[in-house]
Amino acid sequence: MAFHCGPVCARRGRPSPGKSDSDADEGGRGGEGISELRRVGKPGESGRRRSPAQASREISAFRSQAVDREPDGGASGRGSVKAPCALTGFAFPDWAYKPESSPGSRQIQLWHFILELLRKEEYHDVIAWQGDYGEFVIKDPDEVARLWGARKCKPQMNYDKLSRALRYYYNKRILHKTKGKRFTYKFNFNKLVLVNYPFIDMGSAGSGVPQSAPPVPSGAGAHFRFPPSTPSDVLSPNEDLRSPGVFSAVARRMARGSGRSEAASGRWAGRGGGGGPSGGGGGGGFRSILHPRLSHDSLFRMYGPPANTAHPPPRAPPAHRVHPDPLSPFPVSPLPGPAGAGLLAPPLSPALSMTPSSHLPYTPSPTLSPMLGSHFSFNPEDMKRYLQAHTQSVYNYHLSPRAFLHYPNIIIPQPQRPDKGLGPGAGGERGGAGRGGLPHGHGHGHGHAHGHPLHHPLHLGEEPPHLSPFKFKLQPPPLGRKQREGQAQGRPGSSSSGSLSSTSGLGSSMSFGSDLSSAGGSGVISNSSSSGSLNSAGLPKIKVEPISDIESEEEVEVTDISDEDVDDRDEEFDLFPHRRDRQLNGGAAPPPADDDLDEDVFKAPAPPPPGLPPFLGPPAEPRRPLALKSEPGEPGETPPAGAPPSGPGGTKCIPLKLRFKRRWSEDQRMEASSEESDDKKVRAEGQEADRNGEGEENGEGESPPPAPDCPPPPNQRRVSAELHRATAQLSLENKDC
């Protein structure tokens, strides 16, 4: 067993570059000796014989690490980020590795390592992407364990241990297990990305494309701060993961949002298509991503012409899930191969895949990308682009129309958010806006935490002056299974955990700055119209269109950012949006309406309570507030059974706080039952998906690519306008209340 622990191991730090081979030392180091004795017994890894090839692989693996770190000269230079290594293609910012930043992350982390292996073709026989986006299979567990052990200088490493480590990621949401499939796990790239790059300023993304404008280094006042957060932030499960509130939100949205109807069900629509292996050129990758349901045209319509004129006309309908690289979860293969073209950014996240490429302003261009060759990179720039794209997509695409309206300029929280400790008001998660704002509620908040607005194409610039950190986070911290259980038990009342408090913060809920308001351009509205799903999602329950029959609920599902947060669920997988719905249903009580509720809350006219700026009613915008809830009859708002009594009708007037509370309570309940929910959700989702015609990720097979449906009706805009109005009214009402 030769593990290469050499240099690498020696220092916690990263191996020095180049050393690759050297490492061969085996690890014998006693350091860990601890249990060697014990371990001895285990069969395991130890014995594996490796083929030379493997050996080489190992080496390369190590090497890659070292290499990766090269500074990139490129744009990325900014900040502490290190340049991605072209060689590896997979680069992480230094901080990712660095100890200093985060205590925890001094060394390479397992997920990094996994990703690394994944991106290397050499290891495809050992571990490879498979199935849904982000899903990978460990073909040779022992080998992977060995490699890992080598990297960590833990000769005794075996799959059992490695898998344990992997399981810890579940709670962090970095990974989750694909049930039913052996050795199959799925990355939650959103988390990874978001987590790591929460600070990225999306603002630039807006219209445009970053291409021309590389992200500005933080120094410049730009929002983009690179290394703001410490790595720890990055990964920390509780907050950290979420921290990227906005992003999260986005992600969620992506996942969930229209998701359900759209991508959601489908899994990442993106998968394939576009880009070819090479990443298809610039936009290609994304393009492929478009949600099946939406046509480019629609998108455009919805959002208006892409900011960049440059965009090529929408292509033919993207093939869903077609990927050049079968192995890769990304639309564009992240793999090092030829694909060089694929820029990481976009492809990176499976989530992205969901996004419609069309708008993406972002066009991957080699030039732009520092990492040309690389596919997956954490390079800030790439990430930024990625995120931007993400954002856009999210907002544009996945967010509810409402969201768009309101959040046109969503800002990403700055790295240093004060909010951390936010009080109730603050909302717990840092994440700001995205997070969903209100826990269930809608988030009206302003999400912007200052910062970085995501803009829509429509509104680019405005950033709200305020930087408030995101506040709303109602969600309780993600719970582990155990925790959940515990909660369940404990939580008779409602949220037991402290998280609540944050929740309570309803008020805290996100605050959207004026930004949001600004957003609204018509474009936004149109969005809503886009697909039924969107509508549903977006606007509060107004059914603009008869969406498919699918349960409106689902369709409705998500919507705003606020929803987003819906919490953990989302969080869990941003990637997997659907779950949430399921959960609701499954969840204890939540009546079908749950979603509604959730949404309701959000929907509720959120007149932002004092703390919250009105979600809807953007000041800036002339448009009137939407009727958030105009949901017809939606008792939706009404509290679910368990929910507090607000009459259906009455609900409208209910103070936001109450609403939030209710929502919160519900959530809590749900959470309690959540355990099941996952599975259930999954199933449900799957079902739904099926209904929709889209498959979900359920581990099982891949579902066929979803067919796009529901082109947005032309009148959507009108509708949306109406909605806005209604919203506004509601808002007013609420205020009164």
Instruction: By CB under 7 A, tell whether 161 contacts DNA.
Output: yes
Instruction: By CB under 7 A, tell whether 168 contacts DNA.
Output: yes
Instruction: By CB under 7 A, tell whether 32 contacts DNA.
Output: yes
Instruction: By CB under 7 A, tell whether 165 contacts DNA.
Output: yes
* Closest CA relative to residue 272, chosen from 705, 710, 708: 705
Q: Let me know: does 648 contact 637? Beta carbons within 8 Å.
A: yes
Instruction: Decide whether 115 or 620 has the Cβ nearer to DNA.
Output: 115
Stretch that binds DNA, among 157-165, 427-435, 448-456, 728-736 (CB under 7 A): 157-165
Stretch that binds DNA, among 419-427, 480-488, 563-571, 708-716 (CB under 7 A): 480-488
* Closest CA relative to residue 464, chosen from 339, 618, 351, 348: 618
- Token pair of 196 as six digits: 């790591």
Q: What are phi and psi of 129, to 5 degrees?
A: -70, 145
Instruction: By CB under 7 A, tell whether 220 contacts DNA.
Output: no
Interface pick for DNA out of 19, 39, 385, 629 (rule CB under 7 A): 39
Instruction: Decide whether 478 or 540 has the Cβ nearer to DNA.
Output: 478
Instruction: By CB under 7 A, tell whether 152 contacts DNA.
Output: yes
Please report how close the Cβ of residue 205 comes to DNA at its closest, in angstroms. Answer: 27
Distances (CA, A) of 454 to 203, 281, 437: 5, 24, 16
Please report how close the Cβ of residue 109 comes to DNA at its closest, in angstroms. Answer: 4
User: Token pair 């493997």 is at which residue?
Assistant: 54
Instruction: By CB under 7 A, tell whether 480 contacts DNA.
Output: yes
- Could you tell me the sign of the dihedral formed by the alpha carbons of 612, 615, 619, 620, in that order? positive
Residues 227-246 that bind DNA (CB under 7 A): 231-232, 234-237
Stretch that binds DNA, among 181-189, 526-534, 552-560, 615-623 (CB under 7 A): 181-189
Distances (CA, A) of 439 to 27, 191, 640: 48, 18, 15
Other CB atoms within 10 Å distance of the CB of residue 182: 10
Stretch that binds DNA, among 173-181, 373-381, 617-625, 650-658 (CB under 7 A): 173-181
Other CB atoms within 10 Å distance of the CB of residue 59: 19
DSSP alpha helix (H) spans, 638-715:
648-651, 656-692
Interface pick for DNA out of 20, 54, 60, 105 (rule CB under 7 A): 105
Instruction: Decide whether 96 or 352 has the Cβ nearer to DNA.
Output: 96
Stretch that binds DNA, among 47-55, 226-234, 357-365, 703-711 (CB under 7 A): 226-234
Interface pick for DNA out of 92, 183, 376, 512 (rule CB under 7 A): 183
Instruction: By CB under 7 A, tell whether 420 contacts DNA.
Output: no
Q: Count of alpha carbons within 13 Å of 83, Cβ hemisphere only?
A: 16
Q: Count of alpha carbons within 13 Å of 152, Cβ hemisphere only?
A: 24
Interface pick for DNA out of 81, 126, 162, 202 (rule CB under 7 A): 162
Instruction: Decide whether 588 or 682 has the Cβ nearer to DNA.
Output: 682
Burial code (b: 16+ CB inside 10 Å, e: under 16) for 514-531 equals bbbbbbbbbbbbbbbbbb
Stretch that binds DNA, among 49-57, 99-107, 367-375, 717-725 (CB under 7 A): 99-107
Instruction: Decide whether 71 or 168 has the Cβ nearer to DNA.
Output: 168
Instruction: Decide whether 154 or 662 has the Cβ nearer to DNA.
Output: 154
Other CB atoms within 10 Å distance of the CB of residue 30: 9
Number of residues written out for the chain:
737
Per-residue interface string for the shown chain with DNA, residues 11-30, x marking contact by CB under 7 A:
-x------------------
Per-residue interface string for the shown chain with DNA, residues 122-141, x marking contact by CB under 7 A:
-------------------x
Helix (H) or strand (E) holding 142: helix 141-152
Interface pick for DNA out of 13, 104, 418, 619 (rule CB under 7 A): 104
Instruction: Decide whether 107 or 308 has the Cβ nearer to DNA.
Output: 107
Please report how close the Cβ of residue 101 comes to DNA at its closest, in angstroms. Answer: 10
Instruction: By CB under 7 A, tell whether 633 contacts DNA.
Output: no
Q: Count of alpha carbons within 13 Å of 659, Cβ hemisphere only?
A: 43
Instruction: Report the alpha-carbon distance of residue 197 to residue 234 in Å, rounded.
Output: 8
Stretch that binds DNA, among 105-113, 380-388, 400-408, 637-645 (CB under 7 A): 105-113
Instruction: By CB under 7 A, tell whether 31 contacts DNA.
Output: yes
Distances (CA, A) of 717 to 135, 438, 526, 531, 539: 37, 26, 4, 11, 12
Residues 669-688 that bind DNA (CB under 7 A): none
Instruction: Report the alpha-carbon distance of residue 480 to residue 440 in Å, rounded.
Output: 20
In degrees, rounded to 5, the angle at the alpha carbon of residue 124 between the alpha carbons of residues 120 and 130 is 105
Instruction: Report the alpha-carbon distance of residue 583 to residue 236 in Å, rounded.
Output: 24
Instruction: By CB under 7 A, tell whether 150 contacts DNA.
Output: no
* Closest CA relative to residue 57, chosen from 139, 135, 146: 146
23-26 long-range contacts, CB within 8 A, separation 24+: 23/59, 23/62, 23/150, 24/59, 26/1, 26/2, 26/155
Instruction: Report the alpha-carbon distance of residue 506 to residue 509 in Å, rounded.
Output: 5
DSSP summary character for residue 576: -
Instruction: Decide whether 421 or 645 has the Cβ nearer to DNA.
Output: 421
Instruction: Decide whether 123 or 185 has the Cβ nearer to DNA.
Output: 185
- Token pair of 55 as six digits: 């050996």
Instruction: By CB under 7 A, tell whether 489 contacts DNA.
Output: no
Please report how close the Cβ of residue 5 comes to DNA at its closest, in angstroms. Answer: 11
Stretch that binds DNA, among 153-161, 213-221, 680-688, 695-703 (CB under 7 A): 153-161
Stretch that binds DNA, among 179-187, 512-520, 522-530, 682-690 (CB under 7 A): 179-187
Instruction: By CB under 7 A, tell whether 102 contacts DNA.
Output: yes
- Token pair of 140 as six digits: 């040779």
Positions in the binding site for DNA (CB under 7 A): 12, 31-32, 34-39, 42, 102-105, 109-111, 141, 148-149, 152, 154, 156-157, 160-165, 167-170, 172, 177, 179, 181-184, 231-232, 234-237, 480-483
